[in-house]
Amino acid sequence: MTVQLTTSKCEDIINMGTSVTSKKRVPLHQFAKLIGKLVAARPGVQHAPLFIKPLEKEKELSLKKHKGIFKSSEN
């Protein structure tokens, strides 16, 4: 049995990732939303934890820097 993402989920993650990476500054809530989608897709992606952990650490650092305010932008 193989577990994999549907085409629509893959496209959604790619579109969101492209949107985030094309900006110089990203709202923290949008960055967190991308991480959430990646975490939800983890069962269908073999090496997902290798890519998600650094993003989660960056989010935590940004939250500390902005005193927990999700409305701020990440550099």
pLDDT in tens, 12-56: 999 999 999 999 988 888 999 999 999 999 888 888 888 899 999
Predicted structure pTM score:
0.81
Euclidean distance between CA atoms 5 and 28, whole angstroms: 25
Query: Would you mind telling me the total number of residues written for the chain in this entry?
Result: 75
* Lookup: tokens for 67: 């005193």
Give the pLDDT mean for 2-20.
91
Contact 63, 23 (CB under 8 A): no
Euclidean distance between CA atoms 23 and 41, whole angstroms: 23
- The domain locations on the chain are 7-69
Neighbours of 65 (CB within 10 A): 13
